[in-house]
Amino acid sequence: PPPFLLRLPLLSALCAPTCALVDRHEWKKLILVQHWPETVCEEVQKDCRDPPNYWTIHGLWPDSSENCNGSWKFNLKEIQDLLPEMKEYWPDLIHLFPNRSSFWNHEWRKHGTCAAQVDALNSQRKYFGRTLELYRELDLNRWVRPSFPWLHFPVADFKDALARVYRVIPKIHCLPPSQDEEVQTIGQIELCLTKQDQKLRNCTEPGQEPPHKKEVWLAGGGTESRGLRVCEDGPVFYPPPKKAKH
């Protein structure tokens, strides 16, 4: 058989999931990942102080590449002017990282260095700045708010509502039910964007079924985490913020 057929699966078996060697650093869409702080805090149950009562940024991820350039270090100075917005809209909810900028450092190294293939994202200033811009433009918080917290609704309704607003198919991640809750909890929304000009597009490929149920990376990935994953069909719980106002 052609060597490449053999090589990839073998390498993946030997490497950790994030193994940079396996990664061919090719990707075709971007994913703006936003998470619901209340759920993230529920998931980690650890040191989650004052979660904001609005959707915040998790990251801007190329769909199929990670850790593309280990020598391109994160430098906080390059995004100095963005810090007020970064702190508000891209906070480290989990505080597993020693400080706030370590979360940004992580996102830059794992995802930003791959996104940087595109001119519009080829510096740290551009990567973080463009992500904030997309967050503002797409304005998820305008459309999704927990309104009837006692009501569990089908996740399909939520997805359809988002699809109507954005006119593309999003992907929704949930925290699976724990023993004391009956339903999954909504945790994360992915909106997909075209590679070159960051315009909304379907998260699915034409004619493709919704993507596989892959466990989603969560900061730290600690054993205490139940793990966000693509929601199962069926009812979902959208937890209201415990805090009244940010």
Q: Which of 58, 95, 106, 173 is catalytic?
A: 58
Residue 105 or 141 having the CB closest to ligand NAG: 105
- Is residue 246 flagged as an active site residue? no
Q: State yes or no: is 95 an active-site residue.
A: no
Q: Shortest Cβ distance from residue 113 to ligand NAG (Å)?
A: 7
- Asked if 71 interacts with ligand NAG (CB under 6 A), we say yes
DSSP string across the chain: --HHHHHHHHHHHHS-TT-TTT------EEEEEEE-HHHHHHHH-SS--S--SS-EEEEEEETT-----TTS---GGGGGGGHHHHHHHS--SS--SSSHHHHHHHHIIIIIHHHTTSGGGSSHHHHHHHHHHHHHHH-HHHH-----TT--EEHHHHHHHHHHHHSS--EEEEEPP-TT-SSEEEEEEEEEEETTT--EE-SSPTTPPPPP-PPPP-GGG-TT----EEPPSSEEE-PPPSSS--
Q: Does 45 bind ligand NAG (CB under 6 A)?
A: no
Residue 207 binds ligand NAG (CB under 6 A): no
Residues 85-114, one symbol each (x = binds ligand NAG by CB under 6 A, - = not), give -------------xx-xx--x---------
Whether 58 is catalytic: yes
Residues that bind ligand NAG (CB under 6 A): 69, 71-72, 98-99, 101-102, 105, 169, 202, 206
What is the set of active-site residues?
A: 58, 107, 111
